[in-house]
A and B are shown apart, each in its own frame.
Chain A
Amino acid sequence: MSHSSATNSDITQVFQQSYGRVLANLISHLRDFELAEDMLQEAFVTALQKWPESGIPNSPAAWLTTVARNKAIDRLRRKSKWEDETEADTILEKRGVEMTPADEIPDERLKLIFTCCHPALNLDAQVGLTLNTLGGLTTAEVAKALLVPKTTMAQRLVRAKRKIKQAGIPYRVPATEELSGRLNGVLHVIYLIFNEGYSATSGENLIRADLCSEAIRLATVLTHLLDREPALDPDAEALGLLSLMLLHDARQASRVGTDGSLVLLEEQNRTLWDQDKIAAGTAILDQAMALRHSGPYQIQAAISALHAEAKTAADTDWQQIAMLYKGLMRSEPENGIIQLNHAVAVAMAEGPLAGLALLEPLAETLQDYYLFHAAKADLNRRAGWPEDALLAYQAAVELTQNEVELSFLEGRIAELTKASN
């Protein structure tokens, strides 16, 4: 590809594609997030100056790594300018910076994932840091994606990066005995990123596709990296999560109506479902289940797969879905939301009354959760009790901030009020 006339947008695209990998490599040598990021930005500026004439190099990642490393060496040398020259060399040696150009740079992203998702960092910081360093999103983009002010996000990221350095949060794949616990933390962060995209907690858009794609990309990278580590076994739950996200994402186009309104699963136009994503998600789920290490992400993926298989809403195997929710309840007996989903599945399999009976005991735990009231309203509506349905819809309205969800609930209220007049 070493020919001239690379445009700025070509260069930006190549830079973004190599960002996570190059940054991981730089951090592994420099042991300093901020220095690595600064030097990579400078290397990007150099690329913008040189590549339009020279063309994009064959291995842009290696080029960026070498340039950024050399800049780091200059920076560290300048910093110790007034001191003994040999001291600068000692620092560089200690940090493992080599002058040799890298043709092939090793992929160090797995270590970076574990650093960014270290439990000593708070969860918000883990999510922001993962998007920022591995996803290559700028601070402004992360802030926008997570709906927090840019200054808040900037502060959060700076603090997290300083803590990594000052508290000695290591940069490595955890030892086998702690791996499964730590991996769960990583999966949780990726799932949070996906959910933030899939069911935006507030704002005008119900789905922020960019976050969903980013979470899927991260999980894909993670499963590949785990696969490549000879010392690690393939992880069934990592595959389960990837499958789950693909299967959910496949329904994205049908989840929001042309006017931006929310469309419930049973009313969705199934011809809009992305069959390629469904096929990919199902294949990955098969791969996960073959490892015979069941877990919550795989069960949720299996539920999603059953929805994907049903040609029409009426064809859905609710009996099977209710059983899978029961399995999930066993792994997380305290989780009210799973119990709510189980109740809804039972209602679909056996009728609204059976579902309402299961909702009853959840009223206290889920009283602040809008979907509980929305589900209760829907079951009352199906059971032919419009007054109870109306009350529950109104309770749900009080509890949601997402404008798309609000307009859906208000639509249902209008229908019920019209019918009773």
Chain B
Amino acid sequence: MKYICLIYDTEEGIENMTQADFEAEIGEYMAYGQIIEQAGVATGLGEALQPSATATVVRSRDGKTLTTDGPFAETKEQLGGFYILDCEDIDQAIKYAALIPGAKHGCVEIRPLMEIPG
């Protein structure tokens, strides 16, 4: 079963990081990539996002495109990245979501992907 792990965190935390902290964080993510690879749950899908200040929101209404400055929701914690994991069940997904470095300061929302037949 596939799950997307959405990593949420406050953005000041990341902005205020020192170069050394930032590099350490990157190192942790590299190590995490190996962990999920070895566990056989990695799908190769996973990215880090630019800060929410770079977001743009688009709506199509009556054939017109409405474009506004983002993000879609102004919340304290913003989506900062994601992984798609292929797990046996939610317990395995929880186990590997908890190991995502961002889970230590932010949080990870796990959502099962919809299986579309055919």
Contact = CB atoms under 8 A, between A and B. Distances in A.
B36 interface: no
B89 A168 contact: yes
A167 B87 CA distance: 11
Contacts of B91: 170, 174, 178
A118 to B, nearest CB: 8
Contact of A170 (B3, B89, B110, B112): B89
A229 B89 CA distance: 23
Interface string B88-113: 11110110000000000000001010
B49 interface: no
Contacts of B93: 168
B94 A168 contact: no
Nearest to B1: A168
B2 to A, nearest CB: 10
Instruction: Indicate the size class of the contact surface on chain B.
Output: 10 to 19
Interface in B43-97: 87-91, 93-94
A120 B94 contact: yes
A101 to B, nearest CB: 30
Interface in A39-66: none
Contacts of A178: 91
Contacts of A118: 90
B6 to A, nearest CB: 14
Contacts of B89: 168-170
Most interface-central of B88, B89, B91, B93 (chain A CB within 10 A)? B91
Interface in B1-52: 1, 3
Interface in A122-167: 166-167
Nearest to B95: A178
Interface in A380-403: none
A164 to B, nearest CB: 9
Interface in A174-222: 174, 178
A118 B88 CA distance: 16
Q: A118, A120, A168, A178 — which one has the most chain B CB atoms within 10 A of its CB? A: A168
A196 to B, nearest CB: 27
B116 to A, nearest CB: 13
Contacts of A169: 89-90
A174 B112 CA distance: 20
Contacts of B87: 168
B112 A167 contact: yes
A168 B91 CA distance: 8
A170 B1 CA distance: 12
Contacts of A170: 88-91
B115 to A, nearest CB: 9
A43 B71 CA distance: 53
A67 to B, nearest CB: 29
Nearest to A178: B91
Contacts of A166: 112
**Chain B CB within 10 Å — which of A120, A167, A178 has the most?**
A167
A120 B3 CA distance: 14
Nearest to A166: B112
Contacts of A120: 90, 94
A120 B89 CA distance: 12
Given A120-B90, A167-B110, A168-B112, 15 more contacts: A120-B94, A166-B112, A167-B90, A167-B112, A168-B1, A168-B3, A168-B87, A168-B88, A168-B89, A168-B90, A169-B89, A170-B88, A170-B89, A170-B90, A174-B91
Interface of A: 118, 120, 166-170, 174, 178
User: Sorted from nearest, which 7 A-B pairs have the closest CB atoms?
Assistant: A170-B89, A168-B89, A168-B1, A168-B90, A167-B112, A169-B90, A167-B90
16 contacts: A118-B90, A120-B90, A120-B94, A166-B112, A167-B90, A167-B112, A168-B3, A168-B88, A168-B89, A168-B90, A168-B112, A169-B89, A169-B90, A170-B89, A170-B90, A174-B91
